[in-house]
Amino acid sequence: MLPAERWIRAATLLSALLCALLPSPGFFSAPGQVPRLSTKAGFQLSRLGVGTWQWGNKLLWGYDEKEDSNLREVFRTFTAGGSNWFDTGDSYGTGELEGRAEILLGRFSREASDSGASVKLATKLAAYPWRLTPDSMVEAVKASNARLGRAVDIAQMHWSPRSYGFGFQEDALLEGLCRCYEAGLCSAVGLSNFGPKGLRRAAAIFDTRGVPLVLNQVQYSLLSAERESGVAEVCKELGIRLVAYSPLCLGVLAGKYKTGPDAQLLDNFLRSLLFSSLLGDAGTTKLLGLLGEIADTRGKSMAQVALNFAMTEGGGCQEEVATWAGRAALRAATWAGAADEELLSDLSSKAAGQAAANFIVDEGRTPGVAPSAAGQAACKACEASGAMTRFCKQ
């Protein structure tokens, strides 16, 4: 497991557990132009989704309730741009603010509904150690629905208890999700952080019960080794949408933070602690330098190049990969400082035809495609950096 993967998973689990004890970057395009993805549940989701981990999270992201008006504007910007779904979690929000993200999302979605917009909501239910029975999952979904002010569209298990030996707990929580669907508490179910074997097993359970499993969220970026697990191929085989989370590695791949021995990290101690190993790594520094060079050459941003990887990778199943951060291969980044979000506008339609050329790793190894000189140089630089060797070699 790569350093970034370890730290992001640790941050996610630590944040979720501390929440119980005590906005993701996104993109937009012109109204009505965001492509839709069909789901097993019969409804369509935009290829662009928006995550809300930061909403209510003081521990890692320094959330302040004074920012709620900015978050509302971010929500409106994305819905006006054609995005129709948002992802949240019952563990999003720290301490007394646990569940804050769901509350805000519910409020904003009701306002959107009043204005005629149709928004789909997905929430992830934490597999806390004390959630041991099917009823505990049912109660969790009911609580989320109360905070959202409506029945959630997609109820998801946040992580797999089986990954740390609690197979009995996973079975109970999967049964709970089945009951939620059968009781009309959600319109579909989803998973998060499930690998190929776990995904197949869960999918078989849902299929037997006639419960539509529509997506599986996994960490997917240039600093994550998830692409080697085979999960993308399984998703494609089973007709499940693969959703990439942390495609920018919490902003690292967007060049948001300085790297190297003199790196000035963040004003948040915990985030600085989590990022210190990654940002201080020489391979990361070289990788970011390479991203910057390619971005400058292509007239794009580092975020676009990194996100293009997440969007076009996935075992060749581009149409099966979505990301909270959006269709980076077709978008240009600008910063909206107030909400600290990346908003993207459409590029020329020519960008779609040049996806492989803009895709760092794809150049030089796509079957039947002759690599350009720039592509060969990029692959050599990637391998030399030591940070991308796992992705550059087949």
Active site residues: 92
Query: CA–CA separation, 70 vs 148, rounded Å?
Result: 19
Sequence-distant (≥ 6) Cβ neighbours of residue 142 within 8 angstroms? 185
Query: Pick from 49, 142, 129, 53: which is nearest to 91 by CA?
Result: 53
CA atoms within 13 A on the CB side of 159: 18
Q: Which residues pair with 333 in a beta bridge?
A: 344
CB contact at 8 A, 123 and 217: no
CA atoms within 13 A on the CB side of 328: 32
- For residue 218, the SS3 value is strand
Query: CA–CA separation, 327 vs 35, rounded Å?
Result: 10
Question: To which H or E segment does residue 331 belong?
Answer: strand 331-336
